[in-house]
Chain A
Amino acid sequence: MTKRIVVDPVTRIEGHLRIEAEVDDSGMIKKASSSGTMVRGIELILKGRDPRDAWAFAQRICGVCTLVHGVASVRSIEDALKYSIPQNAQLIRNLMIAAQYVHDHVMHFYHLHALDWVDVVSALKADPKATSELAQSISKHPNSSPGYFADTQKRVKEFVESGQLGIFANAYWGHSAYKLPPEANLMAVAHYLEALEWQRDVARILTIFGGKNPHPNFLVGGVPSAISVDVEAKGGITGATAVNMNGLLEVRNIIQKMQKFVDNVYLPDTLAIASFYKDWFKIGGGTGNYLTYGDFPTTSMDDIGSFMIPRGAILNRDLSTIHEVNLNDPEQIQEFVAHSWYDYSGGKQQGLHPYEGETELNYTGPKPPYEHLDTDASYSWMKSPRWKGHAMEVGPLARILMLYANGHEQTKELAGFALNKLDLPLEAMFSTMGRTAARTLETKIIADQMMSWMDQLLANIKAGDVRTFNEKLWEPSSWPAQSKGVGYIEAPRGALAHWAVIENEKLSNYQAVVPSTWNAGPRDAQGQPGPYEAALQDNHHLADVNQPLEILRTIHSFDPCIACAIHMIDPNGEEFLKVKVC
């Protein structure tokens, strides 16, 4: 007999997600489906607008990965118009994207993912002195005295004894799948709180360059933040913009602060927690196919060879062959609707490149509210993106593997160090914990890279180059009557691209294929499952069907961003997005 369990809402993610799973008597997941349940129709809202404004709308697809859609958007317009941007603008964008990575990954780990592994209530039983010893044994982080942990424990104790548990109420505390000793739990809780304070501080890089965070500002043709170093006071203000000498020094300080926290807290914590959950390096592997678009150019977006994160595809876990990827090739990236509530004019079995994308709604699912979906027919409002017909996983794991396969020195060294420490083979990366660890490793790599961009920016300014914006194609009257372009970015959650079509100075079509759609999309015509589906099918045994902690671990390891995944659905019909697993 199988039993169907429902998790709705899935919390500690961006957006609204529902998971249904069928488990057998032993608690093993046999079948699962995930469903996102909110839509806004941003694609329709964008039609007919000024392409230069599109970033602000697109950015509001998501407030967590708050800048990625903005960047993808300005890049798509720049690609369409063949609009080059000054090198300083490129460097500032790199710094902003990198800052977003470090910020987002740390917040994901501590505030969205950690409670899957850390039992807050168990922390009350910890000995602060032993906790201090543990902390000092794994890192040189200064906040590690017995008194520090005693204070944290006292605070948590007060809180629990007050009877009002607030956000910690009703969770799966005491679940048998929690394996950390009380001391490790207490250390993690202390760092949960520390990370809240830290993130507030480091988010300020985006504020200096973008004016605010969340939702910093961008600009087609460069960046909006004029550099005001050494500007005469006459008729103006010295250091009139946020990017003045103080601002630039502040950016340097924050980069150092980021590096320190990653090195002293995030990295050691990940390894420490992972060492107690080594079985999770055997659970939750995905499709085995990985895709990156590449990002962080040292010169320009046209020079793919200069990207720090390389572009490519890996199939069947074979790191020896990297396949070439072309975003404009109509045969490579295609979206399928075989199991989605859409029709294509050429038939449901067809795949379409985003430029030719169609959004013909055809809801054939049961009438809400319903109990179950018919997973043999259509069951999702998400399309299934495929690369040359393959279901691809995108995100930190894909990037770490791509860097590794390309022989990136630091990646090889870091991955080797981590795997060695945990006494695991490289294959262990293809798992739930591998995904979480890859996120930590790439955070370190990117944090370490930031200072070199910063130094280059400062060198340019010293040499008198303060250009941040190219005025040449700003006026819409200078544009061709028709153009189209693709803008892409390696977002923290994976490869993201926006395809824009411009006609007579206005947007006539706008399509985005986002990381969470790549990862969470339903099966295609061939019946190939998407990465969430494949991962949940892999070796998930639930210790307690009423507390399906194991599902949350694997789903959270992808860092779902559901508002992103269903931002664009044309909403003339009902809104359900269902991803069927297995």
Chain B
Amino acid sequence: MAENDNLGNLLARRGISRRTFLKFCTALASSMALSPSMVPAMAESLAKAKRQSVIWLSFQECTGCTESLTRSSQPSIESLIFDFISLDYHHTLQAASGFQAEEAREQAMAEHKGKYLLIVDGSIPVAENGVYSTIAGMTNLQMLEDAAKGAMAIVAVGTCAAYGGLPKARPNPTGAVSVTDLIDDKPIINIPGCPPIGEVITGVLAHFLTFGAIPELDTVGRPKAFYGETIHDRCYRRTFYDQGLFAETFDDEGARKGWCLYKLGCKGPVTYNSCATTKWNQETSFPIESGHGCIGCSQPDFWDMGGIYEAVSEPLTDLRGPAVTAVVAGAAAGVAVAAMNKQSKQSAKDRHFKVSSETLDEELKK
């Protein structure tokens, strides 16, 4: 009976009307910044969709991405798990442990070969042949390559999986890399963020389920619908930046009046994400609204993008030391060159020796 079952029938049996479903799709489209005119078609195709097999692999991670997923309200994790996808393997959520868990993964890989969606969170350590992270005796590297073979597409959730993230921060002790660094023969969607917004994770999944294709991506593999603009561009405090009104500390008049946090190190201008519009946890707030600058967590290498409290325009290295050295060295070189110039001037002068009539005579006698 699983064969011809689709989401529409499932919903009908549960007494959920197509109106309700249309409303759900409307909300989804709105959160994904899709044109509202696409909604009816989207609802029709989603109703015909079957539950998508999903395998979720966790590597060098902190489980923050999974936690964030459970915070998504549109669609919620419950509806995702029960209605839209079949989450066949997920360490933190699945009931089975041990070899039964591994069996579930292998079964899903065999049964849905070429059709399952592979989701990865966490970076993959490759130093020392990948011994820094193993599951069931396999290195993350082996497990990823194995699971990627039969995947229809791969979704790298979180900055660690998308770009290497925290483990890759200087000096990258475990040789951590991203999914894109290792897999090049599958479509990959990056959903960066530390963690990404829950609604963004489920929104991208819903988009994939609806259209069966990956959404439009930017140059670093992020869906443009969610990562198309900088935080700064859509920030409610942007007008204060333009007016030159800045909070100077975390508790001054400007901080309480909601002035721009640029001087306190906000990375909003160089960070592409939808925190300022989608916001966090059911639109409750986002970092800047709660008084702290953006730390840039959806950008590649953001941990090394400068101190959290250093303004975007500040240099990343100490310039004073090198500057003093350069001036001293320049002065020394100047003196040396001047001395050399003097010397060559002198020798040129010397070459112009004076000739007297006596010496001329002596020369002629020879």
Contact = CB atoms under 8 A, between A and B. Distances in A.
A158 to B, nearest CB: 6
Interface string B55-93: 000111111111110111100111001100111101111
Interface string B106-136: 0100000000000000000000100111111
A255 B59 CA distance: 35
B255 interface: yes
Contact of A214 (B67, B88, B96): B67
A60 B64 contact: yes
B322 interface: no
Contacts of B59: 38
B101 A213 contact: no
B366 to A, nearest CB: 75
B285 A57 contact: no
Contact of A212 (B254, B259, B280): B280
Interface stretch (B23-31, B286-294, B329-337): B286-294
B285 A12 contact: no
Given A7-B98, A204-B284, A236-B257, A224 B62 contact: no
B256 A228 contact: yes
Contacts of B303: 45, 57
Contacts of B132: 38-40, 571, 574-575
Contact of A40 (B174, B280, B309): B174
A519 interface: no
Given A162-B2, A548-B98, A226 B291 contact: yes
A162 B134 contact: no
B289 A166 contact: no
A9 B64 contact: no
A122 to B, nearest CB: 13
Interface stretch (A137-145, A237-245, A415-423): A237-245
B5 interface: yes
A208 B2 contact: no
Given A16-B133, A64-B63, A235-B245, A9 B97 contact: yes
Given A196-B70, A219-B292, A468-B251, A237 B135 contact: no
Interface in A147-194: 154-155, 158-159, 161-172, 193
Contacts of B94: 11-12, 167-169, 171
Contact of A170 (B103, B280, B295): B103
A197 interface: yes
Contacts of B82: 155, 159
A37 interface: yes
A237 B288 CA distance: 14
A507 B173 CA distance: 17
Contacts of A154: 14
Interface in B274-325: 275, 280-282, 284-292, 295, 303, 307-309
A323 interface: no
B92 A12 contact: yes
B73 A200 contact: yes
Of the four ranges (under 10, 10 to 19, 20 to 34, 35 or more), the interface on chain A belongs to 35 or more
A215 interface: yes
Interface stretch (B145-153, B162-170, B207-215, B344-352): B162-170
A325 B291 CA distance: 37
A570 B240 CA distance: 45
Contact of A209 (B128, B251, B256, B290): B290
B364 interface: no
A211 interface: yes
Interface in A226-255: 226-228, 231-232, 235-237, 240-243, 247, 250
B288 A211 contact: yes
B183 to A, nearest CB: 20
B95 interface: yes
A8 interface: yes
Given A12-B95, A57-B169, A214-B68, A226 B250 contact: yes
B189 to A, nearest CB: 21
Contacts of A232: 257
A164 B51 contact: yes
Nearest to B60: A40
A455 interface: no
B285 A41 contact: no
A255 B3 CA distance: 46
Interface stretch (A48-56, A343-351, A385-393, A436-444): A48-56
B63 A52 contact: no
Q: Which of B78, B86, B136, B257 has the most CB of A within 10 A?
A: B257
B101 A11 contact: yes
Given A12-B93, A162-B2, A242-B290, A211 B166 contact: no
A208 B284 contact: yes
B37 interface: no
23 contacts: A9-B102, A41-B167, A44-B171, A45-B170, A56-B295, A57-B166, A62-B63, A63-B68, A120-B95, A162-B5, A168-B95, A170-B101, A210-B292, A212-B280, A213-B67, A219-B292, A222-B251, A225-B292, A226-B247, A228-B256, A243-B290, A471-B250, A575-B133
- Going nearest first, the 10 A-B pairs with the smallest beta carbon separation are A63-B64, A240-B258, A236-B257, A41-B173, A211-B287, A171-B95, A211-B290, A224-B292, A469-B251, A242-B285
Given A11-B94, A13-B92, A240-B257, 16 more contacts: A9-B97, A10-B97, A14-B92, A16-B135, A38-B59, A50-B307, A53-B308, A61-B62, A64-B62, A167-B93, A169-B107, A170-B100, A172-B100, A226-B256, A242-B284, A575-B133
